[in-house]
Structure 1
Amino acid sequence: MPDKRTILLADDDIEDVELLQEVILSKEPEVNVHSVSNGKQVMEYLASCTDESLPGLIILDYNMPELTGSEVLSQMSEQPRYKFIPKLILSTSNAYIHMQECIKNGATEYFVKPNSMRELEELTDKMLGLYA
């Protein structure tokens, strides 16, 4: 079973990572947020985890270097050990084709990055609710 205390956050925008990490930790202070900046690092991190230490939630940006969020989802879908981990896309892209592609590749939900702190806090509540 994945480790509910760990969240994997993958985004190449360091400000977005810091902001989301801050909001997550304000709501769930005991959670460990492990962040990486590209899709290749996501796959390397997951490969290094034992089944018991896999993250309980994965939040991916759509537009990342090396591998997009959708490509990461596609690779993860080929491995049964990732099946039960909620996988969320959090992206600036609201393109319907990106949303459909990610859901098809195994995303639990696709969220568009909000424009205000209040919206980010509300969205974080929704995301955390999917893994609790």
Structure 2
Amino acid sequence: MEEHFDVLLVDDDIDDLDLTSAIIQSLCPAIIVHTLTNGMEALACLERLPDDTLPDLLLIDFNMPLLTGAEVLERLAKEERYDRLFKIVLSTGGVILK
């Protein structure tokens, strides 16, 4: 049986979503990338999945409407079932320094 690694990629910018997914899959075809476009979808998706089918990694954009990446992580932190889920927050937005 071929092993694979599941990634849940969440970003409201479709171009960033497509680019990040393509880069991941080109680097390692065994990685299966599932994509969603907002934090609400991500929470709903994760809540529906049985514990043994949770993704191995959550890559989530920091700046999104509805729920930010930080808000999603706060909610996930309240449930022990997500403790083993690796989480990385991404952002392509710039920072304005004053």
Q: Distance in 2 between matches of 1:4 and 1:41?
A: 23
Question: Cα offset for 1:18?
Answer: 0.6
- For residue 17 of structure 1, what is the aligned residue in structure 2? 17
What percentage of aligned pairs have identical amino acids? 39
Unaligned 5+ residue runs, structure 2? none
Q: Deviations over 1:62-103 (max 9, x none)?
A: 1112100000000000000111111101102465xxxxxxxx
What is the root-mean-square deviation of aligned Cα atoms in Å?
1.6
Q: How does 1:64-103 map to 2 (within 5 A)?
A: 64-93=64-93
1:4–1:55 Cα contact (<8 Å) kept: no
Q: Distance in 1 between matches of 2:21 and 2:92?
A: 17
Q: Distance in 2 between matches of 1:68 and 1:4?
A: 28
Do residues 39 (structure 1) and 48 (structure 2) align? no
Q: Distance in 2 between matches of 1:75 and 1:9?
A: 17
Q: Which has the higher contact order (CA 8 A, sep 6+)?
A: 2
Q: Distance in 1 between matches of 2:7 and 2:60?
A: 11
TM-score, normalised by the number of residues in structure 1: 0.66
TM-score, normalised by the number of residues in structure 2: 0.88
1:5–1:31 Cα contact (<8 Å) kept: yes
Work out the number of aligned pairs and report it: 93
Unaligned 5+ residue runs, structure 1? 96-132
